[in-house]
Amino acid sequence: MASSNDARTAVAAGDAADQAIAQIGARVRLLRSRQGLTLKEVASRTGVSVSMLSMLERGVASASVGTLVSVASALGVHMSDLFDRDEPEHSDPVRRLAEQPSVRTNEGARRRVAHNDVESGVELAVNEYEPGGASGPVATHHDGREFGMLISGTLTVELDGQTHTLKPGDLIAYPSDRPHRIINSGRKKAVAVWVNIEGP
């Protein structure tokens, strides 16, 4: 039986997750409004439904990693820019684990943004997928290019209707405007390093 401390910790974690979802939604709405984009226009750029985008902006639904990456790209930013945080003017060349923002989704995936270089438009993330976990419920697309290397486990990448199976050490590279979805169909957690580069 769980102790009262465990229960309080679980409630606090739930509150923090709800707050993060609300902050991300508010940030998406702000960026979209500043650019004069409608939900329908963002939906056409990403393959994410208007209803899902609306729920994301209102903070009533947790978006998948794939959705967040696609929406961020459609708004001209990286996923890490959706987190409401202040960056120091002169940052240390070392970015500690505790300083790397991460998001966990209902699809059994976690994306930890290890580094985001705004000037060069490069974002490096560590993606973890639980067995059965995926980048999202459906394939999404966005501008840019991406490169992924599997560190452990196995991953299946659905790319333009074709299936590619990755084993540790394998790398996949593709233009991000091709519809893609990443799934862990194995029995163990899969860990991959993913690099996203902005651009058409």
Sheet of 155-159, strands arranged across: 162-166, 155-159, 180-183
* Identity at 85, one-letter amino acid code: R
- Report yes or no: 93 and 65 within 8 Å, Cβ to Cβ: no
Residue 21 lies in a domain: yes
Give pTM, 2 decimals.
0.70
pLDDT value for 9: 44
Ranges of residues in the chain with a pLDDT under 70 are: 1-18, 84-91, 200
Residue 10 lies in a domain: yes
- What is the number of other CB atoms lying within 10 angstroms of the CB of residue 162? 8
* Residue length of the chain: 200
Structural domain tally of the chain?
A: 1
Tell me the CB-side half-sphere exposure of residue 17, using CA atoms within 13 A: 15
| Residue 41 to residue 147: CA distance in whole angstroms | 26
In terms of residue numbers, what domain contains 43? 4-85+99-197
Residue 90 lies in a domain: no
| Residue 136 to residue 111: CA distance in whole angstroms | 12
For 2-60, what is each residue's pLDDT tens digit? 555 554 444 444 455 667 778 888 889 888 988 899 999 999 988 889 998 998 888 87
Q: Look at the alpha carbons of 116, 197, 147, 130 in this order and tell me if their dihedral is positive or negative.
A: positive
Residue 19 lies in a domain: yes
CATH of the domain at 31: 2.60.120.10
| Residue 47 to residue 182: CA distance in whole angstroms | 15
